[in-house]
């Protein structure tokens, strides 16, 4: 009995120990098997043989990553200060069509196109400012609105000196009116936008952007085309593209306010990006006179003039009898009978050297003093030389009659 008990206990202990060894051997085998699989996978991949489970996993991964292509284009509504400014003024910028009747030498038709700005709507009338040279010589004028509608226009007045003109149309066609800004506060480098019709109505409503390149520029203007400047236009300079057809259009600040009426560009070889615009503060009184009176009411002397620098030096002493030290001034070539100059006693061949004690060097300086500083009805002191002697008279400026 004791033997069997002892033997049975011994056998159980041995079996228990064997189970521990078997477990340990199995664990070691599993680890070695796993390592073998890991080591052998690259080789299997090389031969394109993978365990089914790995192939299946790759296929599943491929299926997940290959998504159907989707059009990601999105319509974007871009709104900037520039687009706001353009939207504010664009419908107030119109096309101007100059129509001339047939003559013996020509056929009737469009002589040219330009641009204009609707600046006022009052009662059943609307008013448009453009350039004098856009409507010059027109028998009829048509206005092409922003939607392409063409309406007849009446020319109220035009001024060659400032290159401005005012038209009138029926107000029922007008929905937008431009707002005038303040050109006196414009700064060099300030962004500006030009709106107009370059090269005709085909490109109506074109917008170009640039900056103010210069202020208070003076450009000589030869009005009678005799090769001698008659006037100095005071303009804003911009690098915003201004092309033929833009004349009369708007130069706009970033607030959508009109600060200039586009007038011209310097079109010389190797010159690019020099556009010129009439400052709106300078244009306002001209526009008001043209709208109300059909002309600019300027003070009038009643003389025909020529700058001393444009007269051969031989005549300075021989004809005008000037002292040798007088080298600048304006010679009177003709005095209109009954004019303020005639009433003050001025004569042919008198040489004006000062107005209101301000030295006058040439005709342009005289006109600027007369037109910019004097009003109709003002008195003006005139200093001049006659037969070598310096004299002074005072005349009362009048309104020029047409």
Which helix H or strand E contains 6, and what residues bound it? Answer: helix 2-46
**Statement to judge: residues 291 and 314 lie in one domain:** no
Of 159, 115, 136, 137, the closest CA to residue 284 belongs to 159
Give me 379's structure tokens.
Answer: 């008195």
Q: Distance between CA atoms of 221 and 162, rounded to whole angstroms? A: 10
Write the CB contacts of 291 (distance below 8 Å, at least 6 apart in sequence): 120, 127, 156, 157, 166
Which helix H or strand E contains 23, and what residues bound it? Answer: helix 2-46
Q: Distance between CA atoms of 310 and 317, rounded to whole angstroms? A: 15
Residue 243 within any structural domain of the chain: yes
Q: Distance between CA atoms of 263 and 267, rounded to whole angstroms? A: 13
pLDDT of 266 reads: 58
The domain boundary, picked from 297, 324, 344, lies at 297
Q: Which residue has the tokens 């009362």?
A: 396
Residue 276 within any structural domain of the chain: yes
Write the CB contacts of 38 (distance below 8 Å, at least 6 apart in sequence): none
**Statement to judge: residues 310 and 378 lie in one domain:** yes
Alpha-helical (H) ranges within 242-313 are 280-293
**Statement to judge: residues 229 and 127 lie in one domain:** yes
**Statement to judge: residues 247 and 118 lie in one domain:** yes
**Statement to judge: residues 280 and 315 lie in one domain:** no
Residue 28 within any structural domain of the chain: no
- The secondary structure of residue 204, as a DSSP letter, is T
Question: For the chain, what is the total number of helices (H) and then of strands (E)?
Answer: 8, 20
For the domain that residue 258 is a member of, what is the CATH number?
2.40.10.120
Torsion-angle region of 270 (φ positive above 0: left; ψ -120 to 50: alpha; else: beta): left
Of 311, 328, 302, the closest CA to residue 384 belongs to 328
Residue 40 within any structural domain of the chain: no
Residue 17 within any structural domain of the chain: no
Per-residue pLDDT of the chain (402 residues; tens, 9 = 90+): 444 344 434 444 444 444 455 555 555 455 455 554 444 444 444 434 444 333 444 444 545 555 566 556 666 677 789 999 999 999 999 999 999 886 656 555 667 889 999 999 999 999 999 999 999 999 999 999 988 899 999 999 999 999 999 999 999 989 899 999 999 999 999 999 999 988 778 778 899 999 999 998 888 888 888 888 888 888 999 999 888 888 999 999 999 999 999 987 655 555 566 889 999 999 999 999 999 999 999 999 999 999 999 999 999 999 999 999 999 999 999 999 999 999 999 999 999 999 999 999 999 999 999 998 999 999 999 999 999 999 999 999 998 765
> Could you please report the per-residue DSSP string of 199-223?
TSGGGTTEEEEEEEEEEEEEEEE-S
Residue 37 within any structural domain of the chain: no
> Could you please report the per-residue DSSP string of 82-105?
HHHHHHHHGGGEEEEEEEE---SS
Residue 43 within any structural domain of the chain: no
Please say whether the beta carbons of 297 and 399 come within 8 A: yes
For the domain that residue 381 is a member of, what is the CATH number?
2.30.42.10
Q: Distance between CA atoms of 300 and 291, rounded to whole angstroms? A: 20
Catalytic residue among 90, 206, 247, 277: 247
**Statement to judge: residues 180 and 260 lie in one domain:** yes
* Known catalytic membership, residue 163: yes
For the chain, what is the domain count? Answer: 2
Of 337, 326, 329, 336, the closest CA to residue 306 belongs to 329
pLDDT of 48 reads: 43
Please report the sign of the dihedral spanned by the C-alpha atoms of residue 161, residue 164, residue 169, residue 172: negative
Catalytic residue among 90, 115, 132, 133: 133
Is residue 203 classed exposed, middle or buried when 0-12, 13-18 and 19+ CB atoms within 10 A define those classes? middle
Write the CB contacts of 106 (distance below 8 Å, at least 6 apart in sequence): 100
**Statement to judge: residues 304 and 288 lie in one domain:** no
**Statement to judge: residues 244 and 338 lie in one domain:** no
Q: Distance between CA atoms of 6 and 14, rounded to whole angstroms? A: 12
Alpha-helical (H) ranges within 178-301 are 280-293
Please say whether the beta carbons of 151 and 142 come within 8 A: yes
Catalytic residue among 115, 132, 158, 163: 163
The domain boundary, picked from 263, 297, 331, lies at 297
Q: Which residue has the tokens 């600060």?
A: 259
Residue 67 within any structural domain of the chain: no
pLDDT of 106 reads: 55
**Statement to judge: residues 382 and 241 lie in one domain:** no
**Statement to judge: residues 266 and 293 lie in one domain:** yes
**Statement to judge: residues 323 and 255 lie in one domain:** no
**Statement to judge: residues 90 and 232 lie in one domain:** yes
- pTM here? 0.73
Give me 322's structure tokens.
Answer: 């000037």
Write the CB contacts of 102 (distance below 8 Å, at least 6 apart in sequence): 108
Q: Distance between CA atoms of 237 and 243, rounded to whole angstroms? A: 14
Domain containing 303: what range?
299-399
Write the CB contacts of 165 (distance below 8 Å, at least 6 apart in sequence): 129, 130, 131, 132, 134, 135, 155, 157, 158, 159, 290
Q: Rg for the chain (alpha carbons), in Å?
A: 44
* Known catalytic membership, residue 173: no
The domain boundary, picked from 244, 265, 297, lies at 297
């Amino acid at each position: 009995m004791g033997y069997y008990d002892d033997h049975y206990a011994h056998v159980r202990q041995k079996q228990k120990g064997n189970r521990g060894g078997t477990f340990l051997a199995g664990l070691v085998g599993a680890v070695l098997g796993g390592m073998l699989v890991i080591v052998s996978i690259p080789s299997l991949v090389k031969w394109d043989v993978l365990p089914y489970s790995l192939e299946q996993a790759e296929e599943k991964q491929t299926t997940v990553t290959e998504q159907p292509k989707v059009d990601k284009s999105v319509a974007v509504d871009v709104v900037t200060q520039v687009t706001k400014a353009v939207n504010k003024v664009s419908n107030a910028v119109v096309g101007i069509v100059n129509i001339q009747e047939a003559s013996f030498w020509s056929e009737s038709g469009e002589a040219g196109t330009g641009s204009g700005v609707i600046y006022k709507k009052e009662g059943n009338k609307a008013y448009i400012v453009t350039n004098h040279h856009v409507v010059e010589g027109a028998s009829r004028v048509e206005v092409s609105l922003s939607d392409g509608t063409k309406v007849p226009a009446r020319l109220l007045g035009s001024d060659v000196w400032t290159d401005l003109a005012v038209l009138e149309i029926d107000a029922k066609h007008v929905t937008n009116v431009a707002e005038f800004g303040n050109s006196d506060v414009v700064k060099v480098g300030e962004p500006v936008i030009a709106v107009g019709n370059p090269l005709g109505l085909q490109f109506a409503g074109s917008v170009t952007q640039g900056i103010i390149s210069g202020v208070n520029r003076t450009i000589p203007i030869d009005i009678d085309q005799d090769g001698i400047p008659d006037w100095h236009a005071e303009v804003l300079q911009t690098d915003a593209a201004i092309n033929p057809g833009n004349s009369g259009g708007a130069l706009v600040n970033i607030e959508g306010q009109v600060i200039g009426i586009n007038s011209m560009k310097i079109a010389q070889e190797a010159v690019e990006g020099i556009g010129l615009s009439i400052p709106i503060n300078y244009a306002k009184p001209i526009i008001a006179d043209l709208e109300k009176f059909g002309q600019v009411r300027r003070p009038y002397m009643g003389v025909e003039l020529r700058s001393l620098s444009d007269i051969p030096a031989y005549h300075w002493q021989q004809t005008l009898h000037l002292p040798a030290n007088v080298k600048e001034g304006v010679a009177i070539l003709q005095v209109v009978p009954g004019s303020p100059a005639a009433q003050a006693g001025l004569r042919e061949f008198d040489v004006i050297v000062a107005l209101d004690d301000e030295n006058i060097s040439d005709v342009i300086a005289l006109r600027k003093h007369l037109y910019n500083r004097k009003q109709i009805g003002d008195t003006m002191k005139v200093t001049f030389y006659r037969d070598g002697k310096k004299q002074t008279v005072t005349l009362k400026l009048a309104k020029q009659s047409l």
